[in-house]
Structure 1
Amino acid sequence: MNEHVLRALEAVTAERAGDAVLSVRGLTVRFRLRGGRGVAAVTDACFDLAAGECLALVGESGCGKSVLASALLGLLPGNAETAGTAHLDGTDLLAAGERTLARTVRGRRIGLVPQSPAAHLTPVRTVRAHLEETVRALTDTPRRERRATAEAAAGRAAFPAGHLDRYPHELSGGLAQRAATALALIGDAPLLIADEPTTGLDRELVDRTADELRRHTDDGKALLLITHDLAAARRVADRVAVMYAGRIVELTTAARFFGTPGPRHPYARGLLNALPEREFTPIPGLPPELSDLPEGCAFAPRCARATAACAVRPAFEAGIACHHPFGAEDA
């Protein structure tokens, strides 16, 4: 990790020193491919996440958000190479072995709402059975109380009681999502990673799910919310990290990102301007392939503010990686 990244990280997260639940430094994930090629899925990600805080990680599909989450949980495929550190209560998640992650981290210290919940549910067990088994595995709840605890978790995730005895193949995508959210909440883990937790839900249920995640955070837990839904992020996030082509290009408060003066990175501002309630103007072009990233700024080919200076990759300084960021005069 270069000195620019370290200096910028210190400036952005100094006020959180000492109370971070999760501290990520230089997290990098590269996938080895046949023929010697590689895919730089995540590069030099750095952030802290404090107790009682929600950090929303946003960006277009394929930018590396879910890969970052998988790296924290040790769920990457065998052709993945990782670098950096990710400390959770004294444990470096990137260096920990499968035994440690399986027995002491997943479910107990990190709860996960997966992006594809149906793939994480056992097809021959009902939702109720999933919930009760998770209660048994992760809590000290007496056997006679497990049913009520499971039903309470379902209620928190707005999963209808009348569907608890259904099997995964009998659930809609939205119901599977709510079942996965209920499972993630049971362990009351200090860190919750929610990867697109509102996919397949209507607006009312999106708001209800977001509010429940916010309540979980307000109880003193940390939340890493990975989402395309900027409305949900605005509802619950304290800070926003914007990811593009595997890199975090802006890290700022939610108040600034969604309010005035707004985000400073042209890509971050473009995400907001693409919303129907704003300018409804899409960002031109497409993101680059992670296997063929340019030497300079990866966003330059799509950016109206790009100049010759963008042929050099911008350093991440003061919460932003951009040669030509927006300033107060652009608000």
Structure 2
Amino acid sequence: MRGGRHVAAVSDVSFDLAAGECLALIGESGCGKSVLASALLGLLPANAQAAGSAVVDGIELLGADERTLARTVRGRRVGLVPQSPAAHLTPVRTVGSQLAETVRQLTGVRGRHARDAAEAAAERAAFPADHLDRHPHELSGGLAQRAATALALIGDAPLLLADEPTTGLDRELVDRTADELRRHADDGRALLLITHDLAAAERTADRVAVMYAGRIVEIADADDFFRGPGPRHPYARGLLNALPEREFTPIPGLPPELGDLPDGCAFAPRCDRADDACATLPRLADSVACHHAQEAQRVRTA
């Protein structure tokens, strides 16, 4: 709720995610990606509510109470690499002690073995061992991000939500983080990668879901999306074409306010293919929500 009225930050989102698979969720800031992750873990603010169904490892997340989420879900069945890592690190404890405590809570391992497991998690996340005795305020943004990633990897949860896990990292560390997350999936776990970094998504994902104005507008195989026929939705094509290594052409205009969405296609005011048909809200059909998807497909393959 905002300003005394209800605002739908995420609407009609539906997807499945198999063990051993990475789904990259991409889209501009404010489209609802992080809200979706927060809803799955019961971390929405008090004035927000989630409706629908989300089942992970046999547990219904959206209907679970706080006790179930805290003791059974978070860290154990669903791990989180948060978008704002500093807010998830305890300021008065060193990174090493927080990692060791997480090991004890999630695995039951104690003593020196817990410290060894903490160091192993830090290494997986490329967090330097000589910084384990530092407090969060002594870390750069990139180091805090790597510390949060290490914490998320400890439980080897069946589902890992990685919300902008490469923020503040240089290209080499982005690639290393993406590869570690990919290994997490290759070991038989599911990974939902929320990211603005399309290079990281291309390196990591099996499938790509594109979100715009709170809705998923396309779901595609990653190879087709990045290297094959390409996206079918005009917004998804615009995201790729904005990359420097491609056309370096920005999408015109700005995303709409979620509290003031048009009745039809939310992307229509920015789309060069918009016509009268776009006054009706397109539904996700054949993995794309666009009235002109088939027309665009024919143009690209002609």
* TM-score > 0.5 by shorter chain: yes
Structure 1 position 33 matched with structure 2 position 31: no
Aligned counterpart for 1:155 among listed residues 120, 123, 129? 123
Structure 1 position 169 matched with structure 2 position 140: no
Contact 2:94 2:132 in 1 (8 A): yes
Aligned counterpart for 2:171 among listed residues 203, 208, 212? 203
1:62 alignment partner, SS class = coil
Contact 2:57 2:158 in 1 (8 A): no
Residue in 2 that maps onto 1:192: 160
199 and 281 in structure 1: CA distance in 2 versus 1, 3 angstrom threshold: same
Structure 1 position 62 matched with structure 2 position 24: no
TM-superposed CA distance for 1:79, in Å, is 1.0
2:180 alignment partner, SS class = helix
Aligned counterpart for 1:268 among listed residues 223, 236, 240? 236
Residue in 2 that maps onto 1:179: 147
Q: Aligned partners of 2:79, 2:49: CA distance in 1, in Å?
A: 23
Aligned counterpart for 1:246 among listed residues 214, 218, 228? 214
Q: Aligned partners of 1:307, 1:328: CA distance in 2, in Å?
A: 18
RMSD value over aligned CA atoms?
Answer: 0.8
1:56 alignment partner, SS class = strand
TM-superposed CA distance for 1:134, in Å, is 0.3
- Equivalent position amino acid for 2:300 in 1: D
Residue in 2 that maps onto 1:221: 189
Q: Aligned partners of 2:155, 2:81: CA distance in 1, in Å?
A: 12
Structure 1 position 75 matched with structure 2 position 29: no
Q: Report how many aligned residue pairs link the two structures.
A: 299
Structure 1 position 330 matched with structure 2 position 268: no
TM-superposed CA distance for 1:142, in Å, is 3.7
Residue in 1 that maps onto 2:14: 46
TM-superposed CA distance for 1:328, in Å, is 4.3
Contact 1:114 1:120 in 2 (8 A): yes
Q: How does 1:1-150 map to 2 (within 5 A)?
A: 32-35=1-4, 37-150=5-118
Q: Aligned partners of 1:319, 1:52: CA distance in 2, in Å?
A: 21
TM-superposed CA distance for 1:207, in Å, is 0.1
What percent identity do the matched residue pairs reach?
Answer: 78
Q: Which runs of 5+ in 1 are unaligned?
A: 1-31
Q: Aligned partners of 2:12, 2:43: CA distance in 1, in Å?
A: 19
Q: Aligned partners of 1:119, 1:81: CA distance in 2, in Å?
A: 22
- Equivalent position amino acid for 2:233 in 1: H
TM-superposed CA distance for 1:275, in Å, is 0.2
Residue in 2 that maps onto 1:11: none
- Equivalent position amino acid for 1:273 in 2: N
1:40 alignment partner, SS class = coil
- Equivalent position amino acid for 1:179 in 2: A
Contact 1:261 1:328 in 2 (8 A): no
Q: Aligned partners of 1:136, 1:328: CA distance in 2, in Å?
A: 56
Q: Aligned partners of 2:2, 2:235: CA distance in 1, in Å?
A: 29
Residue in 1 that maps onto 2:269: 301
Q: Which runs of 5+ in 2 are unaligned?
A: none
Q: Deviations over 1:103-134 (max 9, x none)?
A: 00000001100000001111100000110000
Q: Aligned partners of 2:298, 2:180: CA distance in 1, in Å?
A: 35
TM-superposed CA distance for 1:88, in Å, is 1.0
Q: Aligned partners of 2:111, 2:96: CA distance in 1, in Å?
A: 14
Larger relative strand fraction: 1
- Equivalent position amino acid for 2:30 in 1: G
- Equivalent position amino acid for 1:233 in 2: A
